Amino acid sequence: MKKKLMAGAITLLSVATLAACSKSSEGADLITMKGDVITEHQFFEEVKNNSVAQQVLLNMTIQKVFEKQYGSEVSDKEVEEAVAEEQKKYGDSYQTVLARAGMTPESRKAQIRTSKLVEYAVKKAAEAELTDENYKKAYDEYTPEVTAQVIRLDSEEKAKEVLAKAKESGADFAQLAKDNSVDEKAKENGGEITFDSASTELPDVVKKAAFALDVDGVSDVITAPGKQAYTSNFYIVKLTKKSEKSANWEDYKEKLKTVILTQKQNDTTFVQGIIGKELQEANIKVKDQTFQSIFTQYISKQETTTTTADETTTASETTTSN
C-alpha cells in the first residue's frame, strides 16, 4: 500500500495554487507575448482535467488532513531514516529515479511523510480488528515454522538439471545449494531457511510447496515471479524439519497479531476506507466538479459548487458512485 498510495508526479504542484483563482478572474499573467497572454486561470482551466493534476490535488488533500490529525505521531527522524534507506537502495541513481518520477528530494520526502501518516492511521484502525474471531480465523490459515534447504536459480533448464542431482540416492542437498543457488545470503548455509506462513522471505508458492512436503522430501521445480518485471525464479526445496501445530490458537497470539495487522495494512479496500473516513471527518467538499471523480474512491457524498452567469449555487451532498 505505501508504495502506491501517494504515487503520481508532483510536477504540476502549482495547479493546486491556481485552483484558488476565482472563476470570474483571469488571475496573474503567466506568459506574455506579442498580442496575447496566458493567465493563471487559463492555465488552470487547461490542465485541471489532466489525471496527473487531479492526483496532485488528491495527494495534497490527504497530506493536509492526515498532517493535522496525526502529525505528532510521525517524527522527522523516522522520515529521515526512510529517506536514507531509499537513497541507499538506489545509490548514485537516486536523483535520476526521482527525476523520472517528476519529483525532487523535497517533494519525495514530503510524500514519504504523508505515507507514514496514513500508515499510522491504518495501523491504529487495524488494531481494532484484533478480536478473538479474527485471531481464530488467522490461526486456521496459519502454518507454524518449518526448516528447509532452498535452492534458487534463474534458469529453468539449470533448475531441472540440479533437481535431477538432488533426487539421486545419497545426494548432498546442502552442497548443491552452495554450488548452484543464486541466493547469496542463504547458499553459504546450505540454503537453510526457517519460515512460517507469515514469513515474507520466500514467495507464497514456494512456502506452500514446502508445507506440503514430508520431512526429507524434495519438491519438483517451483516457478515463482522474479523481482524484476516479466522474470521468473526457479526453486527446489528439501524439507528438513516440521513442527506440529498447537491446538491452542493463543500459543501463536503474537504471531497472529502481526498476521492480522499486516493483512489489514495491505488490504486496499481497508486502507481506502480509513482514508475516506478521515476525509469525511475533515468535512472535505469538492468545489469544482472537475475534481469530483478523483475523490469518489474515498468518499461517496460531496458538497460541490457550480457557478452560473448570475449566481453561485451549492449542490449539497451530490451522490457519486465508485
Residues 47, 50: Cα–Cα separation, whole Å: 5
pLDDT (mean) for 181-194: 93
pLDDT in tens, 133-168: 999 999 999 999 999 999 999 999 999 999 999 999
pLDDT in tens, 83-117: 999 999 999 999 999 999 989 999 999 999 999 99
- Per-residue pLDDT, 174: 96
Q: Are residues 167 and 191 both part of a single domain? A: yes
Q: Are residues 204 and 61 both part of a single domain? A: no
Residue 101 structural domain? 14-128+261-319
Q: Are residues 314 and 237 both part of a single domain? A: no
Using a cut of 0.85, tell me whether the model's pTM lies above it.
no
Domain membership of residue 42 (yes or no) is: yes
Domain membership of residue 250 (yes or no) is: no
* Closest among 19, 27, 121 to 67, alpha carbons compared: 121
* CA 74 from centre of chain: 18
Residues 6+ apart with CB under 8 A from 292: 286, 302, 304, 318, 320
Q: Are residues 265 and 237 both part of a single domain? A: no
pLDDT at 123 over 60: yes
Find the angle CA(263)-CA(266)-CA(271) to the nearest 5 degrees: 110
Find the angle CA(1)-CA(95)-CA(98) to the nearest 5 degrees: 35
Q: Are residues 156 and 297 both part of a single domain? A: no
pLDDT in tens, 261-290: 999 999 999 999 999 999 999 999 998 989
pLDDT (mean) for 237-250: 96
Cell matching residue 48 = 485541471
pLDDT in tens, 3-49: 443 443 333 334 444 444 444 467 899 999 999 999 999 999 999 99
Strand-strand pairing, 232-242 and 222-225: antiparallel
Domain membership of residue 1 (yes or no) is: no
| Consecutive H or E run containing 123 | helix 105-126
Number of domains in the chain: 2
Q: Which CATH number goes with the domain that contains 186?
A: 3.10.50.40
Cell matching residue 193 = 531457511
**Considering 177, 212, 242, which residue would you say is the last residue of a domain?**
242
Q: Are residues 168 and 309 both part of a single domain? A: no
**Considering 189, 211, 242, which residue would you say is the last residue of a domain?**
242
**Considering 242, 277, 299, which residue would you say is the last residue of a domain?**
242
- Per-residue pLDDT, 26: 75
Q: Are residues 110 and 56 both part of a single domain? A: yes
Domain membership of residue 213 (yes or no) is: yes
Domain membership of residue 22 (yes or no) is: yes
Strand-strand pairing, 192-195 and 301-307: unpaired
Domain membership of residue 110 (yes or no) is: yes
- Per-residue pLDDT, 25: 63
Residue in this structure with the C-alpha cell 451549492, named with its chain if needed: 314
- Per-residue pLDDT, 306: 39
Q: Are residues 304 and 217 both part of a single domain? A: no
- Per-residue pLDDT, 316: 33
Q: Are residues 109 and 72 both part of a single domain? A: yes
